[in-house]
Amino acid sequence: MSIDTFPDLMSALQNLFDDSASLDAARVKDAISMGEALINRRVRGREMETSADMTISSRTTALPTGFVQARRFYLNTDPIVTLGYMPPNDFWMRNGVNQTAQPVFFTIEAGNLVVAPTPSSSITGKMLYYKKSDIASALTTLFSAHPDMYLYAAGIYAADFLDDDRRMLKCTGMFEQIVSDYDAADEGDRYGGAPLVTRSLVSVDDSRRR
């Protein structure tokens, strides 16, 4: 059967264990929810990426709903200014955290984006970030492209509930293989399979090399 919807995934999980009596709807939903939490912790790929405009008018701004991890953040100015990320401890040690000017770096604390220096007026920031999957609320691109990932992630927790060590090992192995294949394919798509090349922005005077 195809797995295109949340009810499809529920049915597929029950079929995987052939035990709809023990795996009733409530327990299946719990297993899927815990499996999805595992995916949100383990997986980072292009299907999880989304973007949001953020109005930055003070030092601290709430992060977008479902934020998991930042990919990049820049100010929509002319020219565009890409802000550098710093861990919180380094952020608060830097000069400029108590100044008012155009922000140049940021950190993440307690569900907030924190920038420094503090902007003197509102400015638009563009955030590209990994968004948490929540297929009970809305189907995601990651689920549509890789329903098997969700099936076997949920299967780990279903097997735990049923105290079925053999199937837990099988589901864990399948999940790990799917994630490994996904990571490799995602990296290949991002970089086209070509080796990364370090490029210098410094011009070389060939006449000095003779």
- DSSP assigned state of 168: H
Q: How far apart are CA 77 and CA 88, in angstroms?
A: 25
> How high is the pLDDT of residue 146?
97
Query: What does pTM read for this prediction?
Result: 0.82
Neighbour-count burial of 75, counting CB atoms closer than 10 A to its CB (0-12 exposed, 13-18 middle, 19+ buried): buried
Its sign, for the CA torsion 92, 96, 100, 105, is negative
Low-confidence ranges of the chain (pLDDT < 50): 200-210
> How high is the pLDDT of residue 197?
54
Q: Mind listing the pLDDT tens digit for each residue in 7-27?
A: 999 999 999 998 777 899 999
Residues in the chain: 210
> How high is the pLDDT of residue 191?
59
- DSSP assigned state of 118: B
> How high is the pLDDT of residue 196?
52
Q: Mind listing the pLDDT tens digit for each residue in 50-79?
A: 999 999 999 999 999 999 999 999 999 999
> How high is the pLDDT of residue 208?
41
Going by C-alpha positions, the residue among 186, 154, 196 that lies closest to residue 49 is: 186
Domain locations along the chain? 6-45+132-184, 48-131
> How high is the pLDDT of residue 205?
47
Query: How remote is the C-alpha of 193 from its chain's centroid?
Result: 22
Q: How far apart are CA 10 and CA 157, in angstroms?
A: 13
> How high is the pLDDT of residue 21?
77
> How high is the pLDDT of residue 96?
83
Going by C-alpha positions, the residue among 133, 167, 132, 144 that lies closest to residue 9 is: 144
